[in-house]
Amino acid sequence: MYRYKSLKSPTSLLRLLCLKPSANHSAALKGTLIYEDVDDLIGNYAALSYVWGDPTRTGEILLDDQQFGITKSLENALRDMRDPTRELLVWADGICINQEDIGERNAQVSMMGRIYSAATYTIIYLGALTEAAAIALYCFSPATTSIVLNRENQFDDSWDLAIGDILNREWFRRIWVFQELVLSQDPWIQLGRSRVRWGQFCQKVLASERRTHGNRVASDAGKDRRRYNDAVQILKEMDRARSDDSSRSLLQLLQARRGMGAQDPRDIIFAHLGIASLPDDYLKSVYYPTVDYSKSVFEVYVSTALYVLNHTFGNNMHNLPALFEHLGDLGHAERAPYIPSWVPDWRLPLSLHSRSFPQSGRPAHQHTEFYCNGAYPLVVMTPSSALLAVAGYVFDTIKARGPEAPSESLIFSNQRESYRQKLRQIVKFLHPDTAYGDSFDVPRSLKDIKFDFQHRHSQHGDTFGTFLKECQAWLDELGPRQVEKKSDLLQRSSETGV
């Protein structure tokens, strides 16, 4: 079995795989590792971006004629990259980083941005070349000048299936690939042994979307279409990030990329540190995360949340809602039980139906309606026990929870203000003494509240009508209710000192 030689300076030195040539695709992989300074290797090697895949499926390479175990996906990538006649210098994390040495792993992962930006080109390996994907790659040959259309402006499904086959590969939904793509000088997409430049691929795919979008909307619907549209949107955002010079904070990156796949939950944080814009005070912060695989998932996630609380807007009076608006994963069946309830689980996507703060178009720190008695609550943190303490008063106890209102995401933007007014009417009916500042009368019954709106997604049906029926059923279940007078409520407030 092959044994690594230690890196004398893991923050600047790296290993490169010198991959031996072979014209036989099925021949054993052979190579040797060389040790060089990354700054001396600019323009002399290829970086590999790939998905590790199933760790139980293993492959093998001979390093200096000694066996070395690798994942099957890495073995497939190296076979397809291997030149028939020339040696090839490759950087691949599964070989070039000693994954068992935590100190080296920390240092090498921290410098991955330099590694990908210094490479001559990056190979984005997506896996085998299928028949469908081959149709798409054929369209990128110099002799092909048009998208797959059977008549002028009429979409051909073969192109949709071909591009969908590529965009639905797992690579596009993994967390590390975003940094690898954004920092690469010259990325290439590779399937099997066929390659196409990233820029050329995006240009033609996105151009075809603009050209055929109307025909698709008219003729296609359902889950497959939505999945395809989502995949194209991911491609568009990734390509835009390569050309967009604007800086992104760590919180912005986490918000945009949460829910992407990672075998190690800590990588959800670590994978963005190389491209996040560093705040001016990050060196002064004891909470700003650094790549450290000796820390547990609990420690990494809590530290990141504490950084958001203490430094996002420079004043922790404003940072509590900035953090809490990312807690849409609460109640998710897959939420990690060891993560405190006030810490976002960035592994999970943010649910539109479980946001802690409303989507009013304002930044979270401007939600002044969440201030208590004109001042913001005092936040006291104890990192050792990961408790978040908020000083306040017991005002009342929630005894029952009503139905959940439909998400505004289902409603067209020009109807949302009317929708909000209808929701206020419902609250007025349930609690007539609630002070909303609206001039409308309290409805006599829920049946008097009407709202006819078009859903953005036809499959939802009459969501608002269903919500009203659920409200009525909830009221029927509660039975007779005693609504407190506003004066009584104020009297109780003064007695408690609020």
Count of residues for the chain? 498
57-66, 330-339, 463-472, range with the lowest pLDDT? 463-472
Point out which residues pair with 31 in neighbouring strands: 19, 63
Span 165-172, mean pLDDT?
Answer: 92
pLDDT of residue 433: 64
Point out which residues pair with 372 in neighbouring strands: 375
Angle at 418 between CA 416 and CA 424, to 5 degrees: 105
* Amino acid at residue number 450: K
Which segment, 45-59, 78-92, 218-232, is predicted with the most confidence on average? 78-92
pLDDT band at 381 (very low <50, low <70, confident <90, very high): low
Q: Are strands 187-191 and 121-127 parallel, antiparallel or unpaired?
A: parallel
Number of helices (H), then strands (E), in the chain: 16, 13
74-88, 89-103, 161-175, range with the lowest pLDDT? 161-175
pLDDT of residue 479: 59
In this predicted structure, the answer to whether residue 43 has a pLDDT above a threshold of 80 is no
Span 251-266, mean pLDDT?
Answer: 87
Span 23-45, mean pLDDT?
Answer: 88
Give the pair of three-digit tokens for residue 205.
């795919």
- Which of 224, 300, 307 has the alpha carbon at shortest distance from 267? 300
Task: Give me the half-sphere count of Cα atoms (radius 13 Å) on the Cβ side of residue 103.
Answer: 5
Residues with Cβ within 8 Å of 78's Cβ and at least 6 positions away in sequence, in order, are 19, 29, 61, 90, 92
Give the pair of three-digit tokens for residue 78.
């190296």
In this predicted structure, the answer to whether residue 453 has a pLDDT above a threshold of 80 is no
Number of C-beta neighbours around residue 27 at 10 A: 12
* Amino acid at residue number 492: R
pLDDT of residue 427: 74
Enter the DSSP assignment of 228.
H
pLDDT of residue 417: 81
Burial (CB < 10 A; 0-12, 13-18, 19+), residue 109, is: buried
Span 228-245, mean pLDDT?
Answer: 85
- Which of 201, 171, 200 has the alpha carbon at shortest distance from 48? 171
The mean pLDDT value of the chain amounts to 76
pLDDT tens for residues 147-167? 444 434 444 567 778 888 899
pLDDT of residue 46: 95
pLDDT tens for residues 115-138? 999 999 999 999 999 988 888 887
d(CA 261, CA 455): 31
In this predicted structure, the answer to whether residue 280 has a pLDDT above a threshold of 70 is no
pLDDT band at 248 (very low <50, low <70, confident <90, very high): confident
d(CA 461, CA 466): 9
* Amino acid at residue number 314: G
In this predicted structure, the answer to whether residue 33 has a pLDDT above a threshold of 80 is yes
Span 389-410, mean pLDDT?
Answer: 73
Give the pair of three-digit tokens for residue 267.
């990588």
pLDDT of residue 255: 84
pLDDT of residue 217: 44
Number of C-beta neighbours around residue 284 at 10 A: 9
More confident residue, 358 or 397: 397
Span 217-246, mean pLDDT?
Answer: 74
pLDDT of residue 42: 67
Q: Helix or strand or coil: residue 268? A: helix
In this predicted structure, the answer to whether residue 192 has a pLDDT above a threshold of 90 is yes
Cα 492–chain centre separation: 45
d(CA 410, CA 332): 21
In this predicted structure, the answer to whether residue 75 has a pLDDT above a threshold of 90 is yes
54-68, 268-282, 358-372, range with the lowest pLDDT? 358-372
d(CA 467, CA 472): 9
In this predicted structure, the answer to whether residue 355 has a pLDDT above a threshold of 60 is no
In this predicted structure, the answer to whether residue 466 has a pLDDT above a threshold of 80 is no
Its pTM stands at 0.71
d(CA 202, CA 256): 20
pLDDT of residue 256: 83
pLDDT of residue 483: 39
pLDDT of residue 329: 64
Which segment, 148-157, 224-233, 282-291, is predicted with the most confidence on average? 224-233
Which segment, 56-70, 367-381, 397-411, 425-439, is predicted with the most confidence on average? 56-70
pLDDT band at 484 (very low <50, low <70, confident <90, very high): very low
More confident residue, 358 or 480: 480
Which segment, 142-146, 187-191, 468-472, is predicted with the most confidence on average? 187-191
In this predicted structure, the answer to whether residue 421 has a pLDDT above a threshold of 60 is yes
How much of the chain exceeds pLDDT 70, in percent?
68
d(CA 86, CA 55): 30
Span 235-258, mean pLDDT?
Answer: 84
pLDDT of residue 156: 56
In this predicted structure, the answer to whether residue 454 has a pLDDT above a threshold of 60 is no
pLDDT of residue 150: 43
